[in-house]
Structure 1
Amino acid sequence: MYIPAHFAAVPETVRHLLTRLGAANLVTATPQGLMATLLPFVYDPDAGEYGALQGHLARNNTQWSEPAAGEALAIIQGADAYISPSWYASKAEHGRVVPTWNYTTAHVYGHLVIHDDPAWLDRQVRRLTGVHESGFDHPWDVDDAPERFIAGQLRAIVGVELVITRIEAKAKLSQNRPAADVDGVVAGLAARGQAEAAADVEQARPRPN
């Protein structure tokens, strides 16, 4: 990944991307060529030296059964947004401004482990469900469904675990702009209802030493 020094993600941003993870694209190189699937993952910080991303694939998805050559890759995407030059105070000063795109992203590399094990899958599905149901007033639980039905659903999936070996992460959040331009970006994003992207820009704002 191309990462200019001023856009290098700080450890806090990387942790946020991993722990607030929703879905990520899992990419593997196989004898049939590149294969990719968008999957919901959960991050396990205690699995391996750098942790692991755990999820599952449909059994009929051949990506799990194709032997992966070398590392696999999960592409995690945070909030992203179009940035209009009209939001910059410097537009009125000299006009030398252009549009850009703000985003945070992490390329997570690792060894892909396949888990064709009902017990592992049961734990993974419960954890994944628990993470995403936690914000509901009446969260759904795996045990709300009939046991035989859940057993059948588990037979239809295969577990995947990306044991992390390295992470490359980038946070392009207007850090290279003057303070007045950053003010404009935060206000512009907020006015368009992109609160998460606005908060990311504010969080990444360069602070005086």
Structure 2
Amino acid sequence: MANVFEVLDRDHQEVNRMMAELEDMPPAIGDDRERMRERKELVRRLIIEESKHEAVEEEYFWPAVRNLVPHGDELAEHAIKQEQRAKYTLNDLIDYEPGQPRYEDLLTGFIAEAREHIAYEEEQVWPELRLVISPERAMELGTKMEKAKRLAPTRPHPHTPPNPGLLKASGPFVGAADRIRDMVAARAGRH
């Protein structure tokens, strides 16, 4: 079990690691199918992790920020706008292949925006929440988020409103459908 800040920090570290690896891996050019496959797989994993992370934030973290932090609505609204832009970018990225100029532009843009969003959360939101959340509530929130992440959607859903109630109700079903699509896509990729 981990508190909310530990859960989010682990996610941020993993996403930052994948983004750094993508930046260190030059785009595949020409017939370098192996590099293209590796790059596509890493982006696929990034999309999955980012999608799960944002889903549980919208279900649990941002409602807590809104309820506990004096100007929490303002903080949450700014962050959710950033997250929505990221969902559209990741959703568009799925339609392209590594090495294509649009793919590389979308990926570069996503990485820059993701770093900005992570910094916003860690430097602006977390300090404010730490001032008002009890250790017990932080632990409870972290536990709920860890549990929800197991069933969370693995693909971006930019057209789904970031409504916590709707997400809690539909998230497990959407997550199950996403996992089926992921398995089918993985099988198709092997053939």
TM-score normalised by the chain length of structure 1: 0.27
Greater helix share, structure number: 2
Which has the higher Rg, Structure 1 or Structure 2? 1
TM-score normalised by the chain length of structure 2: 0.29
Higher relative contact order by CA 8 Å / sep ≥ 6: 1 or 2?
A: 2
Greater strand share, structure number: 1
